[in-house]
Amino acid sequence: MINYILEKLKALTAIPSPSGYTNNASNYVIQELKNLGFNATMTKKGCLFCDLGGEGDSLMLAAHIDTLGGMVQEIKANGRLKITRLGGLLAHNIEAENCKIITRNGKEFEGAFQINNPSVHVNGKYQEVVRDFDNMEVVIDEHVTNEKETKSLGIQVGDIVAFDPRTVVTSSGYIKSRFLDDKLSVATLLGLAKHISEEKPKLNKHLYLFIAVYEEVGHGSSSIPIEVDEFISVDMGCVGDGLSCTERQVSICVKDSSGPLNYELTSRLINTAKKNNLDYAVDVYPNYSADVDAALSGGSDFKHGLIGPGVYASHGYERSHVNGVLATFELLKNYLCN
Ligand SMILES: [Zn+2]
């Protein structure tokens, strides 16, 4: 199973999908679910919805396929690009990173994100430059020296800028990529769908899958197509100072910035992890508002939970581990099948 999940993670991270530009990645997931025998549909704003079967109370498992990224805000007089961020992208975190500029008519150009005047042999104030979107720019890997030449390539304001995910799986089982949040969970849920398709376990809930878009800008699951009894966001688990989770565990969140997760559902998740001897951690997330909170704010009524593999350096060059992925997979499987 882990090989399948890692293969899907690599495929998904190779498809650029910053918030607002997710259809290619979503269509990949639709096709993959179809290969597994499930019929997923797309909502008007681009979220995916799929009935995975089973009997009992309804449970929706949700992950999001949109990622951080950029959008061309201005074509500068020097021919380079000022960008605005999509989601909580931090400029210093993508310094010197390769990127793709994807035009509205589907052309792609390569480039890199640099501070203005980035040669240390030239810029005596290199160290002092504040790394933000005003002082940094996309240098396009084409022969362009002014605004007119860049525009003649077909590049326009509003084009998508997607950063190199640099997805790597080490021989020690660590998984690194810019966009483990939340493509690692999407891949894990595909793994669960594969398990259901092949093993046909008896599910004690009626299970639905929801793959949200626009999560990174705050309204991913704000509307959902049906009423459900339980809704669990499967998203990156926080790892850092003061928290107990590591990348090798599944994180069960008890409170995020929007408040406490549902007490009963969270207790059931903790008990399932305990009973099955899974490596898990229970944590409070200090700066995180899960997509499931967006669904509650949108007016839905259900019990809500939040779990996911531990992810280090979130919204940067993120790291997790196959053990954390497997613990997440097992927690979901056991919650559904016990
Ligand atoms: Zn996320």
Q: Give the distance (Å) from ligand 1 centre to CA of residue 171.
A: 26
Residue 170 maps to a domain? no
Whether residues 318 and 270 fall in one domain: yes
Which residue did the predictor score with more confidence, 289 or 148? 148
- In the reported structure, the alpha carbon of residue 251 is separated from the centroid of ligand 1 by a whole-number distance in angstroms of 13
Considering 32, 215, 216, 330, which one is annotated as catalytic?
215
Q: What is the pLDDT of residues 12-21, one digit of tens each?
A: 999 999 999 9
Whether 215 is a known active-site residue: answer: yes
Q: Is residue 173 one of the residues assigned to a domain?
A: no
From the CA of 190, how far away is ligand 1's center (Å)?
16
> What does pTM read for this prediction?
0.97
Within a domain: 245: yes
Task: Tell me: do 58 and 77 sit in the same domain.
Answer: no
Asked, for residue 169, whether it belongs to a domain, the answer is: no
CATH of the domain at 105: 2.40.30.40
Structure confidence at residue 289 (pLDDT): 87
Instruction: Dump pLDDT digits (tens) for 201-224.
Output: 999 999 999 999 999 999 999 989
Closest CA to 305 of 259, 257, 252, 258: 252
| Beta-strand runs (E) in the chain | 40-42, 48-53, 58-64, 69-75, 81-86, 98-102, 108-115, 136-140, 160-163, 168-169, 174-177, 206-212, 230-234, 237-238, 250-256, 259-260, 280-284, 303-311, 318-321
CA 338 – CA 209 distance, rounded (Å):
19
- Average of per-residue pLDDT values in the chain: 97
Domain termination site, one of 129, 163, 197: 163
Task: Note whether 252 and 146 are same-domain residues.
Answer: no
Q: Do the domain assignments include residue 171? A: no
Q: Tell me if 127 is assigned to some domain.
A: yes
Let me know if 51 is exposed, middle or buried by CB neighbors in 10 A (0-12, 13-18, 19+): middle
* Cα 66 to Cα 11: distance, rounded to the nearest angstrom: 14
What pLDDT does residue 338 have?
A: 73
Instruction: Give the chain's count of helices (H) and strands (E).
Output: 7, 19
Whether residues 332 and 225 fall in one domain: yes
Looking at the structure, tell me whether residues 125 and 268 fall in a common domain.
no
* Predicted confidence (pLDDT) at residue 290 exceeds the cutoff of 90: no
Q: Which of 163, 190, 206 is the last residue of a domain?
A: 163
Here the CATH number for the domain that contains residue 199 is 3.40.630.10
Residue 330, pLDDT > 80, answer yes
Both 228 and 79 in one domain: the answer is no
Distance from residue 329's CA to the centre of ligand 1 (Å) = 17
Whether the per-residue pLDDT at 143 is higher than 90: the answer is yes
Number of domains into which the chain is organized: 2
151 with 221, same domain? no
Q: pLDDT at position 32, please? A: 98
Which burial class, exposed, middle or buried, applies to 242 when counting CB atoms under 10 A from its CB (0-12, 13-18, 19+)? Answer: exposed
Q: What is the mean pLDDT of residues 174-194?
A: 98
Are 113 and 231 part of one and the same domain? no
Same domain, 216 and 322: yes
Are 62 and 136 within one domain? Answer: no
For residues 6 and 104, state if they share a domain.
no
Question: Residue 106: its pLDDT value, please?
Answer: 92
Q: Note whether residue 106 is domain-resident.
A: yes
Residue 24 and residue 153 in one domain: no
| pLDDT tens digits for range 221-237 | 998 989 999 999 999 99
Reference 247, options 188, 304, 314; nearest CA is 314
The answer to whether residue 174 is domain-embedded is no
Structural domain for 330, as ranges: 2-67+179-337
